Amino acid sequence: MIEKIAIALCITIVTSITLNLNEICQCSQLIQEYDCINSSMECSWNFQSKECQDIPCSEILFSSFCIQQSQRCYWANGQCQNFTNCQSLLGSTQSICINQNIYCPASNGTNCQSVDYLQTCASITTSNNCNYYFSAAGVCMWNGQSCVQATSCSQFQGNSTTSCNFSGCQLNYQTKQCQPKLCSQLNGEIQCSQGILTFGPYLNNIIGCYWNYESYTCEEFYPSQMNYMNCYGSSAGTYHWNSKKEKKGDCVSCYQQFLILSIIITMLF
């Protein structure tokens, strides 16, 4: 019975291509050496113990890598520092706060705050504060009269002017339509690895993409098609290779293993 539940959960989670940044793998969960070494300078491989370990926040030199470890680090004053709480971060706007720590996207005008303090789209009364604001439920946009949650790229097009500024959308210059961006439209390996932002809930809104070295094209991330080299990097660090051996294993969610283990323990006790 337990085995059937575990298999069902694997199928449900692994087939998903919308990535949740709340489920970023911890260094200790990376059992494959390649994943650890490829972890954007956030982790280091201990060749003696054969384990993946955290790099101290102070030794992470780039903001983009520091922010990826936002559950333990934050970026401020040109340095990666140990994270304590959102309130300790100075930030007058959402963008300033997000650029320090993705788990602190709200602001009270002076200090940053956690996701719990995000405004709803409906509570915002001006277009300047509304457009492209990330609420907990998703991205906000001004429809001319009020602030609403965006659900499609076509909503960003006005009657007289074409607006397609959301990073998850792309303007079709032939049809003049604002359409969802596809992995195949991303140019180059670096842009491809960043994935595509969607309208979904905050932090659970990235479509994973991976760079196909054979065709030199960007393709959509499907865990079942990944190998030990592209599993972790193509999933924004939310999936990992579940075997120490390169040729044996699967690309699985770090959260998936924790969830299955929790259910099994609950059923046993």
Instruction: Note the pLDDT tens digit of each residue in 156-187.
Output: 875 444 578 889 999 888 888 899 999 999 98
Residue 254: predicted pLDDT: 92
pLDDT tens, N- to C-terminus, the chain (269 residues)? 434 434 333 333 333 378 998 898 989 999 999 999 888 678 899 999 999 999 999 998 888 788 877 788 999 889 999 999 999 999 999 999 999 999 999 999 999 999 999 999 999 999 889 989 999 999 999 988 999 999 999 888 754 445 788 899 998 888 888 999 999 999 888 899 889 999 999 999 999 999 999 999 999 999 999 999 999 989 989 999 999 999 899 999 998 654 433 333 333 33
Residue 12: predicted pLDDT: 36
Residue 56: predicted pLDDT: 92
Alpha-carbon span 102 to 95, nearest angstrom: 10
Residue 256: predicted pLDDT: 67
Residue 67: predicted pLDDT: 80
Residue 161: predicted pLDDT: 46
Residue 197: predicted pLDDT: 93
Residue 1: predicted pLDDT: 40
Residue 138: predicted pLDDT: 96
